[in-house]
Amino acid sequence: MKAFSVIIVFIIIGCLVLSAGCTNAPATPAVTPQATVTPAPHPATVSIANTPVQYKDVNGVRLAYWEWGSGEPVLLIEGFASMVANDSTTSAPWNETFLTILSSKYHVYAYDHRGMGYSSMNNVTPTIPIYADDAAELIKALGYDSMNVYGESMGSSTAQQLVIAHPERVRKLILDSNSYSSNIPECQILHATLIQVANDTSASPGLRAEANANLAFNGTWDGLSGINKDVMLVVGTGDVITPQAVSARMAGQINGSWLVRFNGLPHIGNRNAPVQYGENAVYFLSTNQSPLGTA
């Protein structure tokens, strides 16, 4: 019995030793799943040539339009002598990098004025108010009550008339390379160009119609002070067609408007600095401009 008791004691001690060894053994390291980091998607690069042209019948004509992106809508209104799908005789109104930046945040629509590009023209003599009516009707035809609007050069004049005549169709407004009339002294280069095109019998009917519409337009000056929208005016300090002094004067008439001047850039600067113009537009459209305490 004494020997048996000794054996039992040794067994108990051995178990205690083994238990202590298990307690002090290094723990099996926990397996932490690796987090998968998804890089921020790059915006889809816009190619006008690879974008199908679409059509809407508005105001007695068929307007050709293109669209990119998704989200809140932005309507681009092109300038004089421009076509979205341009050829060698016209200017490309919108730089594709500019379109890429803008459409990364917004649903962007661009179209050709009546008589230009793929858009038709009827027997009604075009005027700036008619171009503005076309834009208002296109917004409705595309399924919206209103859109943000970006107009450049003649498109700025059209956009000004649009917000004055159809304020319910406009959310925010960006005016680029601006004049409230082509007949003011500061815009003598523009005025001379319009007269030359209007008298050029070799020019297309749509192009001559645009020139005559600008020359006949009485302008928007009297209506600027009544605009009650968030407005940004953009101009290059090197613009000799619609000089910066005109945009500054207009900004003084539009209550609460922004004025952005790009140093050294010429008329329609998005062609020369598309990244800066695109980011500037996105910033303005995304900014809450309500006065402090009223948002």
What's the chain's length in residues?
A: 295
Taking the C-alpha atoms of residue 226 and residue 221, their distance in angstroms, rounded to an integer, is 10
Helix and strand tally (H, E) in the chain?
9, 8
Residue pair 62/54 in contact by the 8 Å Cβ criterion: no
- Which residues are 258's β-sheet partners? 232
Alpha carbon of 7 to those of 4, 39, 44: distances in Å? 5, 67, 81
Match 């300038």 to its residue by tokens: 79
Q: Is the dihedral of CA 151, 154, 156, 158 positive or negative?
A: negative
Q: Secondary structure of the chain: what % helix, strand, coil (to 5)? A: 40, 15, 45
What does each of the 295 residues of the chain score in pLDDT, given as a tens digit?
444 444 444 444 444 444 444 444 444 445 545 555 454 456 679 999 999 999 999 999 999 999 999 999 999 999 999 999 876 555 678 999 999 999 999 999 999 999 999 999 999 999 999 999 999 999 999 999 999 999 999 999 999 999 999 999 999 999 999 999 999 999 999 999 999 999 999 999 999 999 999 999 999 999 999 999 999 999 999 999 999 999 999 999 999 999 999 999 999 999 999 999 999 999 999 998 755 444 4
pTM: 0.84
**Helix H or strand E encompassing 205:** helix 205-216
Among 126, 106, 124, residue whose Cα is nearest residue 217: 126
Beta strands (DSSP E) in 130-268 are: 147-152, 170-176, 230-236, 258-262
